[in-house]
Amino acid sequence: MGTIHVAVLDDNEEFLHGFAKMLAEEFHNCNIDAKTFLFSKAEPFLDHLKNNNGVDLCFLDILLPDHHGVSLAKILQTQFPRSRVIFMSGVAATAADIFDADPSYFLIKPILPQRLHTAVSAAMQEKPCEFLTIRSKGQMLRLSKSTLEYVEIMGRTLTFHGLDYLHSTSGRLDAITRLLGEDFIRCHKSYTANLKLVHQIDKTDLVFFSEKRIPIARPKLPEVREKFFSYFAVGKMNRREGK
């Protein structure tokens, strides 16, 4: 592993510098070569992301005076999918807000070294954007994107149809589709599908390997077909090259 690029954003500068020392010790103990940048305001943080094509690991305070940490995480994950996010907060109740993003971990202040170690270990072992975090029936759930067949919306209720799970929450399908990434496509006003799990496409439906079917909106059919066949062709080429 080469040098990892780390950013920490917290408006409390006293906490920020104390946390930086704790973080440096954690990286030293784990033999991780890291370059850490500290920010107390959102705008310099965002400028740093744009100028450096994101970061590998980001620690974000949720409650900031000029931005909300969850909103910043959405920007980070949409524009720089490789980035892993760890939220921090001194208020446990703010954990309810993080389902709108896709964090690797959530740390409650004051942060203990062992908790920091657990968070860093989880983030470093996780592939970027491997999971989606949602809040369902009062619980925080992390759903595997690789086994998520499709997301359905009825009214304000989102239902996540996985190969081995079925969970619901409230939200917007367009926002979830952006978080899910390029493997997913909005094929209908009510559905977003995982192309990795689609077996075939016909005039009206996407058909999954599980034999489940979801409709394709007629105006979206050309776009869905193009993306499906492009996706299939790239996957076939990668398999041929042994990637």
Does residue 101 share a domain with residue 26? Answer: yes
Does residue 180 share a domain with residue 155? Answer: yes
127 in helix, strand or coil?
Answer: coil
- CATH number of the domain bearing residue 123: 3.40.50.2300
- Residue 238 in this model has a pLDDT that exceeds 70: no
User: What's the angle, vertex CA 122, arms to CA 75 and CA 192, rounded to 5?
Assistant: 45
Mean pLDDT of the chain: 85
Give residue-wise pLDDT tens across range 161-218: 998 889 999 999 998 998 888 889 999 999 999 998 998 898 899 999 899 999 999 9
Does residue 23 share a domain with residue 115? Answer: yes
Confidence of residue 60 (pLDDT cuts 50, 70, 90): very high
Does residue 121 share a domain with residue 25? Answer: yes
Q: How far apart are CA 243 and CA 81, in angstroms?
A: 20
Amino acid at 200: Q
Does residue 75 share a domain with residue 25? Answer: yes
DSSP 3-state helix, strand, coil percentages of the chain (rounded to 5)? 40, 35, 30
Does residue 96 share a domain with residue 15? Answer: yes
Of residues 86, 199, 223, 96, the one with CA closest to residue 149: 199
Counted residue by residue, the chain has a size of: 243
Confidence of residue 1 (pLDDT cuts 50, 70, 90): low
Does residue 76 share a domain with residue 157? Answer: no
Average pLDDT estimate for 27-41: 94
- Residue 71 in this model has a pLDDT that exceeds 80: yes
Better-predicted residue by pLDDT, 234 or 19: 19
Does residue 174 share a domain with residue 116? Answer: no
Does residue 169 share a domain with residue 72? Answer: no
The last residue of one of the domains, among 104, 129, 154, is: 129
Give residue-wise pLDDT tens across range 99-110: 555 677 888 899
Q: How far apart are CA 101 and CA 142, in angstroms?
A: 11
Q: What is the DSSP letter of 99?
A: G
The last residue of one of the domains, among 129, 157, 190, is: 129
Task: Print the domain residue range for 90.
Answer: 4-129
| pLDDT at position 139 | 77
| pLDDT at position 97 | 56
| pLDDT at position 91 | 75
Does residue 113 share a domain with residue 201? Answer: no
Number of C-beta neighbours around residue 144 at 10 A? 13
Q: How far apart are CA 186 and CA 105, in angstroms?
A: 28
- Domains: count for the chain: 2
| pLDDT at position 242 | 47
What would the two tokens of residue 21 be?
């020392």
- CATH number of the domain bearing residue 164: 2.40.50.1020
Does residue 174 share a domain with residue 80? Answer: no
What pTM value is reported for the model?
Answer: 0.57
The phi, psi pair for 42, rounded to 5°, reads -70, -40
**Residue given tokens 């270990």 in the structure block:** 121
| pLDDT at position 142 | 78
| pLDDT at position 101 | 58
Distances (CA, A) of 185 to 84, 160, 192, 213: 23, 14, 5, 15
The phi, psi pair for 242, rounded to 5°, reads 75, 25
Average pLDDT estimate for 141-163: 92
Q: How far apart are CA 150 and CA 213, in angstroms?
A: 10
The last residue of one of the domains, among 71, 99, 129, is: 129
Number of C-beta neighbours around residue 98 at 10 A? 23
Does residue 106 share a domain with residue 22? Answer: yes
The CB-side HSE value for 112 (13 A sphere, CA atoms) comes to 3
